Amino acid sequence: MSDYPLRAEAIKNQFKRAGIHFVVALPDRVTSHHLLKGLLADPDYHVVQVCKEDEGVSICSGLYAAGHKSVFMMQYTGFLDSINAIRGVGVEGRFPVCMIVGLLGKEPDVAPTQSKKFGVKIIEPILDVMGIEHRLIERDADTEQIAPVIEKTFKNSFPTAILIGREPR
Amino acid sequence: MMKRDEMLKAFLRHRKDEIVVPVYTAAQEITHLAPSDLNYTFVGAMGQGSSHALGLALGRPDKRVVVFDGDGSLLMNLGSLVTIANQAPKNYVHCLCENGCYETNGSVPIPRAGQIRFAELAKGAGYRKTYEISELAEWERLLPQILKEEGPLFVDLKVEAGDEAYPENFQRLYSFEYREKFRQALAKS
C-alpha cells in the first residue's frame, strides 16, 4: 500500500488547502470508497449528496453566490449527463464550478484520449471545446495542482475539471 | 385557480428581505413588478432553480430563500425534492407555480397535467410541511405563516397566466453583472 501511486488523503489535503468546506457529490466508483466516504465521515466537510449531476452544478453555483467555495465530485458518466447545466450555468453563466471527475475504466498511465473506453476518450475533447481547463491526477505528485486549480476556478469565475485517472486509496 | 401575477403581487406585499429565486415567466414578472438585487434569476438551465436555491439556503442559513418553480421545471429535476429534503434547510420555501403547461415553450401541456399531486411527491420526499393553495385569499392569509415557519416547506400554487402581458427582459435574467450585484447585495444583507 505504501508505494501505491495515489492516496485519497493527498487529494483531501488539497481541498483543505483551498479552503473547501462544501463538497457536492454523487458517488463515483473511482473515488467513492476512499475519498467520498472519508469526506462523509469528516466533520470538517459538509457533503451535499445529489440525485443527479446537473443539480450539483447549480448547488455549487448557489453556494458561490452566497459566498462559499465548493467542489463537485462525480463520475465521467455524470459529467456527460449534465453537459447542458455545465454549458448554461457554468460556461455561459460564468459560475465557478470545480468538477472532480472520476475516469472509470481508464487504463493506468494511459492518456485519457488514448483510452479504449469510448466514454473516457471523449471527456478531454469535450472540455476543450467548452473552453474548460482540466488537469489529470494519477499520482500523489499530481495532486499539488488541485488547490491552485480550485483557486483559479474562483478567481476566473469559470468552471474547471480535475480528472481522477485511477482510484485514490 | 389564481392569476399568477396576482399571486406574486400578494407575495410581494409580504416580502421583507428574502432571497427570491423565480424561474421563467415568474422571473419575468417578479423582476418587472418588484426589481430587487436579491432577485436571483441566473439559473442557466431549465429545472435548476430549486438546486440553485438549495445552494443559497445552505450558504446563508440566516436568510429565508423562496423559490417560485414551474411544474415543467420541477418535472425536469424531481430528484431535487429528495436532495432538498435530505439537507432539510429550515430557511427553504419551495413554491410551485402549477399551471399545467410549458408556458414559455408554447403552452404545451405537461404530462398528466392537473393529475399530479406535487405536494404528495414533496411530502413523500421528506419536506417538513406541504400546502396546496388555489385561492388568492387563502394564499394571502397563509403567507405570514409560510414566510416564518420552519422549512423545508413546499407550496403548490394552482395558477394560470394573468391578464397583463409583462415585458421579457432576458438581459436581466441571465446577466453576469446582475449576478455580481446579487452577490454584493447578499454579502451586505
Q: Which chain A residue's Cα is nearest to B84?
A: A50
Residue A3's pLDDT is 85
Q: Are the C-beta atoms of residues A91 and A131 closer than 8 Å to each other?
A: yes
Whether pLDDT at A2 is above 80: no
Mean pLDDT (chain B, rounded): 97
Residue type, A162: I
Cell triple for residue A162? Answer: 480535475
Residue A26's pLDDT is 98
Q: Please check whether residue A131 touches B, CB under 8 A.
A: no
Integer CA distances (angstroms), B40 to A25, B35, B182, in order: 24, 11, 7
Mean pLDDT to the nearest integer, A75-82: 98
Mean pLDDT to the nearest integer, A89-95: 97
Distance from CA of A165 to the nearest CA of B (A): 28
Q: Which stretch of DSSP H or E encloses residue A75?
A: strand A70-75
A6: number of Cβ within 10 Å: 22
Q: Which of residues 75-94 of A touch B (CB under 8 A)?
A: 84-85, 87-90, 92-94
A51–B186 CB contact, under 8 Å: no
Mean pLDDT to the nearest integer, B79-99: 98
Using alpha carbons, select from A88, A97, A26, A86 the residue that is nearest to residue A60.
A97
Residue B171's pLDDT is 87
Q: Give the Cα separation of A69 and A49 in Å (integer).
A: 16
In percent, the amount of chain A with pLDDT more than 70 equals 99
Reported ipTM exceeds the 0.90 cut: yes
Whether pLDDT at A102 is above 80: yes
Whether pLDDT at A54 is above 60: yes
B174–A65 CB contact, under 8 Å: no
Q: Give the Cα separation of B118 and B120 in Å (integer).
A: 5
Domains and CATH numbers, chain B: 2-188 (3.40.50.970)
The predicted-structure confidence for A115-135, as pLDDT tens digits, reads as follows 999 999 999 999 999 999 999
- Chain B contacts of A84, Cβ < 8 Å? 45
Q: Taking the mean position of all CA atoms in its chain, how far away is CA A20? A: 13
For cell 453563466, name the residue: A93
The predicted-structure confidence for B158-175, as pLDDT tens digits, reads as follows 999 999 999 999 888 999
Q: Does domain A8-164 have CATH number 1.10.3720.10?
A: no
- Chain A contacts of B44, Cβ < 8 Å? 58, 61, 85, 88-90, 92-93, 95
**β pairing state of B92-98 and B101-102:** unpaired
Using alpha carbons, select from A104, A101, A122 the residue that is nearest to residue A29.
A104
A65–B57 CB contact, under 8 Å: no
Mean pLDDT to the nearest integer, A45-59: 98
Whether pLDDT at B104 is above 90: no
**Which pLDDT band, with edges at 50, 70 and 90, does A1 fall under?**
low
Q: Give the Cα separation of B11 and B135 in Å (integer).
A: 13
Q: Which of residues 127-156 of B touch A (CB under 8 A)?
A: none
Distance from CA of B163 to the nearest CA of A (A): 31
- Chain A contacts of B24, Cβ < 8 Å? none
Q: Which chain A residue's Cα is nearest to B184?
A: A65
Distance from CA of A49 to the nearest CA of B (A): 7
The predicted-structure confidence for B18-77, as pLDDT tens digits, reads as follows 999 999 999 999 999 999 999 999 999 999 999 999 999 999 999 999 999 999 999 999
Residue B69's pLDDT is 98
